[in-house]
Structures are given as structure tokens and as C-alpha cells.
Structure 1
């Protein structure tokens, strides 16, 4: 519920705080604690001392202080986060650029990387092509984020002819490059080259005739 702060009334229906029967923060923490107690997130709860044996949600507030040196005398900007992942230090350091993340800057967490690692949004990029991944689906492999294209390439070969992933086990491979069998053909005349002599220049396949004509 959203309240008008100075009058403690609901912005939607204009009724008083008492009519809404607002719960206290402790009551909310008890309810959340009961929900999480028997789940994989039970570590986010704690048993109340001298209580009835129930568990309460552990709020993990974090205060981040950053110096502001724009003026003659430095001041400090303080931001309080109502919740932060467990185990974080007060000062967040970016995994890529190793610079402290300002308190007013969004932070990217990758669930598969664990909460001990975080990035500036601009630093959360594919480890192969540096494509920004903050607002995209990402993959995690070898301790680093990957874009979809290069993650797939790490699992399956990509055809040098059509630029698509090869899912079949029956394909042609030459000098570290791969082709669907139907795409293993001369770039100029499109003659199939399976079992025939050919030349390879960069990623271009040429039959003997087309290769010789290019030299003339």
C-alpha cells in the first residue's frame, strides 16, 4: 500500500492506516521467515531468541558510502540498500574493470556466478565478442558470461558456408573449419567438392578449375 506520508492515508482509497491494518516490519519478517524456513533459501532466515521456535527473515541492509570530490572539500554520498545479496562487502568492485561501483549505479549480478561477483552494466559483456549482455539472455561457462552465438559455437561447430550451427554429426571439417556436407561446395560454381580436389583461401572453397581461373 502506498501512503500519503504526512497524513498516513492510502493514496488509492483515502482510508486511514488503521483501517488497512498495516503490519509491522517484524510481522512481515515472520511471515517471510515461515515461507523460506523449509526452502533452499532457509539461510536467509534466523531463529528468534526466546521466541516460539519460529524463524524470521534476516534483512540484509547495506550502506554504501562513496566520496564526492567535485568540490574543494570532499563529502560523502551515502546510499542505503534495503536488501542486498548475502556476503557482499560495503564497497562493490566490478569484476571486469576492477573499479568501485558508485552507490547510485545499477549493479549486474549473474546468478550462475554467485553473489560475490558483480559488474557495471557496461562491463557485463560476452567474453568472446564483448557484446553487452545486461539486458539480454546470457550463458555462463568457464567462469565467464557468453552471448548466445559464441556459447553455441563452444558446443557445436558453425558452418563456414551458411553461418548456421551444425547439429548433425555428419559434416565436413578442414583446417579447423566445418561445413554441412551440402554446403561443402565451390564458392564460384557451386560444384560439390566431397571427394574432389579443392583449394581453401581463408574460408572460401574453390574447385581446381575456379582456383586456376582466379590466378590468371
Structure 2
């Protein structure tokens, strides 16, 4: 009888433990970076099902972002506040964050527009352009959703770069080896990414290699 009683008590403890673990798991919330990452996945999945053109770009991306917003409504409220849809400033901020991430995750969505323009202009010869190299001194480094840095040339011109993918010397940036005022050679290419805040494509310099001089 004593063994049966202990067995029931242990079963109750096990059930209680499972409930507590379940509640803790349920209570876990997404960080802002995780939220944007997941919302951009939804946005990319939604947009790839559409034929994106210049004419329907804004409305298509808007609908895809709304789909992602509805899926993660509570987390959006936590990081961007309530009633985001009716708050132009917050909606612009959210759209910018998701649009930038989508541009890196599913650039093929936006390439449909480029392909469409090429078709209308007749046959086009695609020529591969080698990466450019720029020399200067680092004047600023920012680690936010993406790591960006500014290199100032001897002429005084500032150039902003963004780190989107890994390469051999990427650790110089990710491990904070490079500091402000360090002289560097930066190899990069330019890519048009959609700026949701401006509502248009903006050219970004994407770093592919960096060497400290």
C-alpha cells in the first residue's frame, strides 16, 4: 500500500514538473533580432509566391509584411509597441528592418524586377564585374542588426560598408580586432537592397574581404 501511495505521489510530481516546464517554454519570448529573422522568413516565403514587379512591389511587400505581423503580433507589440499598423513611424521602422533582412535572405524576389526590365530592353549581355578595392582609414564601426563600418579615404570621402556574409578575414570585424583609425584595404561589391523606409532600392557596399595595412 505504501508503494502504491509513493507511486501516485511521484506521478503527481512528474505531471506538475511537465506543466511547469511547458509553462516556461510557452513563456519564452523572441528577441528583436529573432523576431525580424522569423518575420523575414515569412516575408520571403510569401513574396516568392508572387510575381514581383515595379508596379506591385509596394503592395506585395506590404501584404507579406502584414502576414508576418499577424503571425508574430505579440512579439511585434513587445518590441515596436501596440497598434503598429496605424503608427506610420513604427511601421516604417518595422518595414525597414524586415525589408533589409529580406534583401539579404531572398534577393531573387527583387531580381524579378531587374529581369523584367532587361526583357523589355531586348537581349542583354551580362558581364561579370570584379570586386572593387578601396583604401582608407576606419572612422566608425556599428554592431546592430548588421555590422556596418565607415572607411574614410585620403580625399575625405566617407564610404559605408555592410557585412552580410562570411569570408577568411571577417574575424577582423566580428572579433573587434580592427579599431577606429586603422588603415585598411576593403574589397567589396555593390548591391541594390530594398529600403522599406525610403520605399526604394538603395545601393549598399557589401564587404567581401578586408586587410589591415
- TM-score normalised to the size of structure 2? 0.21
1 or 2 for the larger relative contact order (CA 8 Å, sep ≥6)?
A: 2
- TM-score normalised to the size of structure 1? 0.21
More helix by share: 2
